Amino acid sequence: MNLAQKKGSHTAQCKIVITSNQGVRGGRIFDLKSTVDNAVKSCPSVRHVFVAKRTNESMPMGKLDISLDEVMVGQSPVCAPEPMDSEEMLFMLYTSGSTGKPKGIVHTQAGYLLYASLTHQYVFDYTPGDVFGCVADIGWITGHSYVVYGPLCNGATSVLFESTPVYPNPGRYWETVQRLRINQFYGAPTAIRLLLKYEENWVKKYDRSSLKTLASVGEPINHEAWEWFHNVVGDGRCPLVDTWWQTETGGVCIAPLPAEPGAEIRPAMAMRPFFGIQPALLGEKGQIITGNDVSGALCISKPWPGMARTIFGDHQRFVDAYFKPYQGQYFTGDGAYRTEDGYYQITGRMDDVINISGHRLGTAEIEDALDEHPDVPETAVIGIPHEIKGEVPFAFVVLKESATENQRAVVEEMRHLVATKIAKYAVPDHFLVVKRLPKTRSGKIMRRILRKVAMQDTSNLGDISTLDDPSVVSEIIEAHKRYRSHAAKK
């Protein structure tokens, strides 16, 4: 099968859904099955829905539903492996880009598995017999590569963590480390930033002597979080590796190797490319930037085994998104700095993608959800820094004149739209209603201005002469002032 040219829609066209009746997380119960039922209504390709009983709550079973627990009873515990071509699809995972709908990133059998297992071994200093603890969601690429595929390829014991870092209390991770004797602990900076606000005793009272390697992923880790993770959790004795990679790269691409004799690890820096990865920094004119102490667009110059092969059903989009921006290079979407001694430090996204608690989200997706509201002709969403979550969405919203009286209700409805269409974490922290958005004469929203307004950094707005009507800027600044004073009173 040629994955890229598979005909039909660009969506997965899946036939089977496996779900639970309910989900349990952080002491809360939420309905999964009803969410799936709603989604399945618009997916005619789905023939069966297997439902596992995670809680005792009974669920009405529909036409397509099959109880997983009941059918499993009659199954053989042995499942013969199916030989596959090395380039057959292993899985697809949807991820956000700066434009359009999420992309179905395709990973294949041999290359991905090789890369996931090799990086699992070297980046985390895994040795046979270790208990590997990656606390990421399985539904995220981090969970795919380092809860499931990498550890299982290496015959490792892999921990499945279903809860949150603060349930039932902020000692949850470290109690789990003690109870399961975890050797490698892999988590996200957002959780570390949350935990470092609590008493150190929540860490110290548990035995963490089993820990060998600590690792971080998903967003830049700030110095304070790095130091706390290293010194408080790891007692300063475990290497802490900052691992940079993406859904598209399949596995870790830039990270220090902790087992290498004499290897230096610097705080808050991904540092060095993994075997076979050739990073390059590209300049605005598309030129390769050589030398050290320089910044640019982070690209990878040569293919590597774990790289995504295509976007499901839309190979042209794959080429356009990753290989068009810089000739002959894979473009990551991130910017990076190469230090004086040649180490890499990731500086953040260069496109309209934001990172909320490690969740990667195109601002266009949030805008799409908001724009579905009948009273909302136009919105612009940007990311602003947040102490714990890294970034949070800030929405600028234009309302129909008839709806301005009802602002509060419309905002509530927009929150609901984002929560149901995307996820709760995607709901903007701020909604600022404005009369219009700052647009260039060619109709492009000048997000730079919106960022400055949201950050209250309006002393130097840069060149606004290309705006269709520059007076919009003071209008938005005034609206933001009113919004802030209103929020302060609350």
The token duo for 58 is: 């009974």
- Tell whether residue 244 is a contact of ligand WTA (CB under 6 A): yes
Measured from the CB atom, is 245 or 312 closer to ligand WTA?
Answer: 245
| Contacts of ligand WTA in 418-477 (CB under 6 A) | none
Stretch that binds ligand WTA, among 2-10, 126-134, 330-338, 430-438 (CB under 6 A): 330-338
The 143-182 contact track toward ligand WTA, x by CB under 6 A, reads ----------------------------------------
Stretch that binds ligand WTA, among 224-232, 331-339, 377-385, 412-420 (CB under 6 A): 331-339
Measured from the CB atom, is 120 or 349 closer to ligand WTA?
Answer: 349
- Tell whether residue 306 is a contact of ligand WTA (CB under 6 A): no
Stretch that binds ligand WTA, among 150-158, 215-223, 318-326, 372-380 (CB under 6 A): 215-223
DSSP-derived 3-state class of residue 481 = helix
DSSP letters, 312-338, are TT-HHHHHHHHTSSSTTSEEEEEEEEE
Q: How many helices (H) and strands (E) in the chain?
A: 14, 23
Can you tell me which residue has the tokens 């609901």?
416
Among 97, 143, 218, 239, binds ligand WTA (CB under 6 A): 218
CB of 300 to ligand WTA, least distance (A): 12
Are the C-beta atoms of residues 64 and 40 closer than 8 Å to each other?
A: yes
- Tell whether residue 346 is a contact of ligand WTA (CB under 6 A): yes
Q: 127: which residues sit within 8 A by CB, 6+ positions away?
A: none
Can you tell me which residue has the tokens 């109880």?
67
Stated as kind and residue range, the H or E segment containing 224 is: helix 223-228
CB of 413 to ligand WTA, least distance (A): 29
Among 220, 250, 256, 305, binds ligand WTA (CB under 6 A): 220
The size of the interface with ligand WTA (CB under 6 A), counted in residues, is 21
Residue with the closest Cβ to ligand WTA? 247
CA angle in degrees (0–180, nearest 5) for 469-482-392: 85
The token duo for 373 is: 């509201």
Quote the DSSP letter at residue 430: E
CA atoms of 188 and 270, how far apart (whole Å): 14
Among 135, 191, 270, 446, binds ligand WTA (CB under 6 A): 270
CA angle in degrees (0–180, nearest 5) for 352-94-167: 90
Are the C-beta atoms of residues 154 and 117 closer than 8 Å to each other?
A: yes
Among 117, 119, 121, 243, binds ligand WTA (CB under 6 A): 243
Among 239, 333, 383, 428, binds ligand WTA (CB under 6 A): 333
CA atoms of 463 and 467, how far apart (whole Å): 9
CB of 272 to ligand WTA, least distance (A): 13
Q: Which amino acid is at 187?
A: G
- Tell whether residue 19 is a contact of ligand WTA (CB under 6 A): no
The token duo for 19 is: 């779900």
CB of 390 to ligand WTA, least distance (A): 9
Instruction: Output the CA–CA distances (angstroms, integers) from residue 197 to 20, 105, 194, 228, 412, in the order listed.
Output: 34, 36, 6, 10, 30
Among 19, 20, 21, 95, binds ligand WTA (CB under 6 A): 95
Among 119, 121, 246, 379, binds ligand WTA (CB under 6 A): 246
The token duo for 90 is: 């292993």
Nearest to 99 by CA among 250, 319, 309, 321: 321
Stretch that binds ligand WTA, among 37-45, 303-311, 329-337, 466-474 (CB under 6 A): 329-337
Stated as kind and residue range, the H or E segment containing 477 is: helix 471-489
Among 349, 373, 389, 480, binds ligand WTA (CB under 6 A): 349
- Tell whether residue 219 is a contact of ligand WTA (CB under 6 A): yes
The token duo for 359 is: 């969740």
Among 334, 352, 368, 391, binds ligand WTA (CB under 6 A): 334
- Tell whether residue 103 is a contact of ligand WTA (CB under 6 A): no
Nearest to 478 by CA among 445, 448, 456: 456
Measured from the CB atom, is 219 or 368 closer to ligand WTA?
Answer: 219
- Tell whether residue 345 is a contact of ligand WTA (CB under 6 A): no
- Which residues lie near ligand WTA (CB under 6 A)? 95, 141-142, 217-220, 242-247, 270, 332-334, 346, 349, 355, 360
